[in-house]
Structure 1
């Protein structure tokens, strides 16, 4: 359930929604951090649900000591009215037994809010690619039929590669049926895409093959591909585009090596 933090209910009519999948390397979540920080997006509410592991923390996008003490929760919504853009940042893992319930909540909220399209930023284990997925860039996409009808021309200009369907048992032709969509490490990405196709939602998935570790470069790669499509940061007088790193990234890998160790 969406809970507004504004005096009047937030309107998302004809907005584009961007949300991350909690997936390998947290690449989608890091990319959303860059969007919120760079576009100076405003928090307008949160999703109240028991499907995420409970947590709370300080403001991850604080710009001064005064706003650093704000309390933030696992699933918050930010908007940029100028860009007609909304993002849902998910900061906690989804409880495994409530994955379906969470997807149903998302689909219901997206339909009720009137978003024009939804973009899921995700990732998948690089080491589990098959031979055809080793070719080209590590970016792949999925798009629902409902959205493809609207953006088919613009989509072709991007020259991106669609996520390949793979054999369930590579090397055993007699055991394989039709190739299937397989996104290891992608969290709810595959199921949410299937739900969106069934519900006739306009949804796209941008996905990057990666490995666990320092995934900041992967986040920049993913958000730059998103910008190639949505043109959120295009500025002719500023080359290359500059993404603003949020203050919360200062402690992304802890506070450093204690000198006492040496």
Structure 2
């Protein structure tokens, strides 16, 4: 499934894998874009899979005319060895009934690569929040049992809120409680499969609505940065100043299209 750019697969043992879930508002994917762009990560390979809708386009992180013609596809892998960080970016939706197959193949690669941990950036419909979730922070986390002893103390010190259980059938209050992530795409499947396969995984998500979700992506990477310190933080940072530290990819100029043609008027 993973195809390296070079002649041999890189040694990723002990690295942290960051990846998005294709979820409401594409918040996870936008957040991953910010991380790749800001850290100027190098592409080390791609995923060859029939589970995603095929796509090809120009390099979304091009910084000059010379590399603007390089091509990108639907699932690519980037790395920053100095931080022992690997990032998988997913750029298209799943083909119907193939998302579970993708999760199984992905987690098999995770096992074979011997990653230290996997962090999934995701989002969930704010319109589906219950009364308890409507109060306080819109951010939530989940971690698998094999990850608990590694992050429990750190997360407690950050005062983060764990994703609450809610009735499996929302219309029936007495139904068995479970973790529900409406609009979260493969988030729940990845979490369940990682629990059963004893893969150390953390899910970080935000409750959002569809629209201009760039502010949500900036919020999510700041949330992640509280834990991983991907870029330097200052105790004096306010939201505006910290947002300026993240490098906006060149492809975001066309995030909402190329504008209205003057001939229209």
Please give the TM-score of this superposition, normalised by the length of structure 1: 0.95
Per the TM alignment, residue 82 of structure 1 is displaced from its structure 2 partner at its CA by 1.1
For the structure 1 residues 113 and 170, does the alpha-carbon distance in structure 2 shift closer, same or farther, using more than 3 Å as the test? closer
Structure 1 match to 2:214: 216
Distance change >3 Å, CA 5–CA 132, structure 1 → 2: same
Aligned runs of 1:78-97 on 2, under 5 Å?
78-97=78-97
Alpha carbons of structure 1 residues 181 and 259: separation in structure 2 relative to 1, 3 Å: same
- Native 8 Å contact 2:23 2:123 kept in 1: yes
Unaligned runs of 5+ in 2: none
Q: What is aligned with 1:197?
A: 195
- 1:171 to partner: Cα distance: 6.5
Corresponding position of 2:124: 124
- Are 1:252 and 2:255 counterparts? yes
Shift in alpha-carbon separation, 1:135–1:9, aligned structure 2, 3 A:
same
User: How far apart are the structure 2 equivalents of 1:110 and 1:217?
Assistant: 30
Alignment of 1:1-262 (within 5 A): 1-170=1-170, 172-173=172-173, 176-234=174-232, 239=237, 240-241=241-242, 242-262=245-265
Tell me how far 1:120 sits from its aligned partner.
Answer: 0.3
The CA deviation string for residues 22-44 of structure 1, in whole angstroms up to 9 with x for no partner, is 00100000000000000000000
2-side partners of 1:219 and 1:237: how far apart? 21
TM-superposition CA deviations, 1:90-142 (whole Å, max 9, x none): 00101121111101011100010111000000001111111111011110111
For the residue of structure 1 that corresponds to 2:45, the secondary structure is strand
Aligned 8 A contact 2:123 2:184 in 1: yes
- Regions of 4+ moved over 3 Å: 168-173, 235-241
Stretches of structure 1 that go unaligned for 5 or more consecutive residues are: none
Q: Name the CA shift for 1:237/1:185 in 2 (closer, same or farther; >3 Å).
A: closer
- Distance in 2 between residues matched to 1:237 and 1:209, nearest whole Å: 25
In the aligned structure 2, how far is the partner of 1:10 from the partner of 1:141? 30
Q: What CA RMSD, in Å, does the superposition of the two structures yield over aligned residues?
A: 1.5
Structure 2 distance, partners of 1:236, 1:158, is 16
Instruction: Using the TM superposition, give the Cα deviation of residue 11 of structure 1 relative to its aligned residue in structure 2, in angstroms.
Output: 1.4
Distance in 2 separating the partners of 1:101 and 1:250? 34
Q: 1:61 to 1:182 in 2, by over 3 A?
A: same
